Amino acid sequence: MEEANRVRFARADTKRQLKSGELGIYDLLMDPSEELKGAKVEEMLLAMRGMGRIKVTRILREAGISPSKTLVGLTHGQRDRLIRVLGCEES
């Protein structure tokens, strides 16, 4: 129970940071914290400012990533393609 709450709070906090621009998606994709490893890539992209369901669906399709994919489940190739499609580089 306590573990689940910790994970929920960490995810909510990360989404807030993504929305405010405090955290870049590149950094999240390259090094997700322990609590975020099971978070869905789609869920994190949707948290970013200017990203809606249609845009996120198109980005995932373009990168060849299933909407159910988790951060830790991404292969190196998928991660690289996603970063390329998003047009984000190292910060």
Q: Please name each of the domains of the chain with its CATH number.
A: 2-86 (1.10.8.50)
Can you give the pLDDT at residue 22?
A: 95
Percent of the chain at pLDDT exceeding 90: 92
Amino acid identity for residue 70 in this structure = T
Can you give the pLDDT at residue 88?
A: 81
Can you give the pLDDT at residue 89?
A: 65
Q: Mean pLDDT throughout 38-67?
A: 96
Strand, helix or coil at 40?
strand
Q: Which two tokens stand for residue 91?
A: 């910060």
Whether residue 90 has pLDDT greater than 70? no
CA distance 19 to 9: 15
